[in-house]
Amino acid sequence: RDGFGFVASDEEGPDLYLSPKEMRKVFHGDRVLVATVKIDRRGRLEGSIIEVLQRAHETVVGRYQDESDSGFVIPEDRRLSQDILILDPPPTVADGDIVVARLTRQPERRRRPRGVIEEVLGSELTTGLEIDLVLHKYDIPASWNEEVVAQADQLESTVSDSDVQGRQDLRKLPLVTIDGADARDFDDAVYCELRADGWRLAVAIADVSHYVSPGSALDEEALKRGTSVYFPDRVIPMLPEALSNGLCSLRPAVDRLALVCWIDFTAEGEIEAYRFERAVIHSHARLTYDQVAEFLADGATLPVTETWQPIVECNIRHLAELHAVLHQAKQRRGALAFETKEVDVRFAEDGSIEALTVRERNKAHTIIEECMVAANRCAAEFLDQQQVPVLHRIHDKPDEEKITALRQLLGSLQLALPGEDVPDAGQLTALLDSVVNRPDAQMIQMMVLRSLRQAVYSPAVRGHYGMALEHYAHFTSPIRRYPDLLVHRAIIHCVQKRGRNEYRYTPEQMIELGEHCSMVERRADEATRDLMAAYKCRFISDHLGEQFDGIVTGVTAFGIFVTLNEFLVDGLVHVSSLRNDYYHYDPVLQRLSAEHGGEVFRLGDPVMVTVMRAAVEDRKIDFELVTH
């Protein structure tokens, strides 16, 4: 809302600065054709908009501001710098209401955008309304059209005899699911057994492709959504519940259709052979991460029938043994392993936020992760060998400029990366291992993470930098990720030995699908972060005036950013609150230094702060140092 903006080029090249005058023609997210006109006094390339190619917004969510016989909608998305003129507001809308406005005129250089009130969401910003705002803000579909509902309603509630025909019968294989305690969609089940010279792993994944045909209403809606979106208190699923929590959820004690990846490992944890087959399975236990971790730690009883108890326990022990060697193999190839901390939100009965707690991870989490990674590797390698166009999970090596910036940041902490070129993943892993016991280890990990490129979906086979793998794809979550469903369709096409001319997708279509799936993944991530920021603001607003320990996680010319240790809540200590001195910012060493008092604030410094302000709508929290 400062007026100016930037254009990110579709091709390699610097962003172009857009002046406030140019920004009056567009909203954030619009696709434009621009020309470079000059270099401004700050050395930035400045652009001029020649044409708006595609508008990003049909509707805008915001607060209605009444102006007698007309009004304005002030966008909730602060990246939208212009208010929406409402000439004929309906009588149902009141000043201060949160509304959805449909644009009838897009922004122009000499005319402000205009719209009509389409829906009044409410007046009080509750946690429930906060989700609705985020859904509208990021244009995430949350309701099902009639055709999708009709197709979902036509599905049988159980697996039929005709469904089973032509499949391997693995119902007696002691597969189990291992998920979070509050999980509802179980898309993977696992089984592991010893071989003479290693292990054999079965990863059974729900066969969503059996129920979701290409081009059907279910498929079109799944593609449109691209991914399920997981908010703290609500899930926006990619597929209707009849599938995501019903027919495609590998619940215990019921038959389910699956695509199974069998993998043989050597004693050193290297993949020796693999194969895929369609099967009917029968999960023999629904286990949680905590239950499995407690069983492995102290022999706690698993919630399994007496008949299957010893068999399932043996399965879990073999999974743990396999995990140990897979972890060693992962270390040998130098894959990055981030131990990022996530926050869980606990709600009171009235919907208010009762607590923020740091989520605990245990050994069971990493057991399942390694099993899924192995199956994903096999899927990618298999489809590459078959030369079938499909979406791979691509993670390119970091940009040199970002690595240079990372080296400077590390230097301010008396740390260094070896060599002068872009490091391989193993070198970054060695760095993270060396700081694991430091109090600022989490912050250093985030610095490294921010220096990496974002992983994307693409039919190109360029490998995965972070995992140090030549082949990688997403195969294990077709209930909640559309790329996985595409991978399933490709594998089934190859397993059934169909002709190339029978394959539905062209390389050109896969490029478009990859761009779309990457976009909706980013959208889901941004929406989730945005909502979590709002929840953190709500929670900390009940603690104004209280003091907490934290760590400096960002240094700028206008202040320091601090993350509270207990809640992982971020806030700003503005330089204006650092009284009785003038502070100089060093962008190379990332520090803020007092001109006279000798005080210096650096990344990683422990501090104690007082919570001064929390603005939910702006997602901003202000702190002040207790002593400085």
pLDDT in tens, 484-521: 999 999 999 999 988 778 899 999 999 999 999 999 99
pLDDT in tens, 577-604: 987 789 999 987 788 999 887 889 988 8
State the CB neighbour count (10 A cutoff) for residue 448.
Answer: 21
pLDDT above 60 for 9 = yes
* Predicted local confidence at residue 39, as pLDDT: 83
pLDDT in tens, 86-135: 998 999 999 999 999 999 999 998 899 999 999 999 888 888 889 999 99
Cα 519 from Cα 532, distance rounded (Å): 20
* Predicted local confidence at residue 1, as pLDDT: 56
* Predicted local confidence at residue 292, as pLDDT: 98
Say whether 452 sits in a helix, a strand or coil: coil
Alpha helices in 127-272 (DSSP H): 127-137, 146-154, 161-164, 217-225, 241
Bridge-based pairing state of the strands 114-122 and 84-86? parallel
pLDDT above 80 for 627 = no
Say whether 584 sits in a helix, a strand or coil: strand
* Predicted local confidence at residue 528, as pLDDT: 97
| Integer CA distances (angstroms), 544 to 32, 608, 611, 622, in order | 44, 14, 5, 10
| Amino acid, single-letter form, for residue 508 | E
* Predicted local confidence at residue 615, as pLDDT: 93
pLDDT in tens, 521-575: 999 999 999 999 999 999 999 999 999 999 999 999 999 999 999 999 999 999 9
Domain residue extents for the chain? 5-54, 59-123, 146-156+173-334+343-394+458-532, 400-452, 544-625
pLDDT above 70 for 2 = no
Bridge-based pairing state of the strands 591-594 and 583-586? antiparallel
* Predicted local confidence at residue 501, as pLDDT: 81
* Predicted local confidence at residue 541, as pLDDT: 96
* Predicted local confidence at residue 579, as pLDDT: 77
* Predicted local confidence at residue 4, as pLDDT: 87
- Average pLDDT of the segment spanning 208-220: 97
Q: Which of 322-326, 369-373, 598-602 has the lowest mean pLDDT?
A: 598-602
376 pLDDT band, cuts 50/70/90, is very high
Strand partners, 208: none
Contacts of 103 (CB under 8 A, 6+ apart): 57, 58, 59, 60, 84, 113, 114, 115
* Predicted local confidence at residue 262, as pLDDT: 99
φ, ψ at 247 (rounded to 5°): -60, -30
Cα 507 from Cα 458, distance rounded (Å): 10
On the question of a common fold for 59-123 and 544-625, the answer reads yes
Alpha helices in 452-506 (DSSP H): 482-495
The topology (CATH level 3) of 544-625 is: OB fold (Dihydrolipoamide Acetyltransferase, E2P) (2.40.50)
Mean pLDDT (the chain, rounded): 93
Structure tokens at 319: 């999974």
Cα 251 from Cα 256, distance rounded (Å): 8
* Predicted local confidence at residue 502, as pLDDT: 86
The answer to whether 601 touches 519, Cβ cutoff 8 Å, is: no
Is it true that domain 59-123 has CATH number 1.10.287? no
628 pLDDT band, cuts 50/70/90, is low
Bridge-based pairing state of the strands 353-358 and 343-347? antiparallel
* Predicted local confidence at residue 351, as pLDDT: 86
**Residues of the chain above pLDDT 90, percent:** 75
Q: Among candidates 314, 322, 337, which has minimal Cα distance to 271?
A: 322
pLDDT in tens, 34-84: 988 888 777 788 889 999 999 989 999 999 999 888 999 999 888 888 999
| Integer CA distances (angstroms), 606 to 214, 370, 443, 592, in order | 54, 35, 12, 14
Cα 177 from Cα 187, distance rounded (Å): 8
The answer to whether 410 touches 588, Cβ cutoff 8 Å, is: no
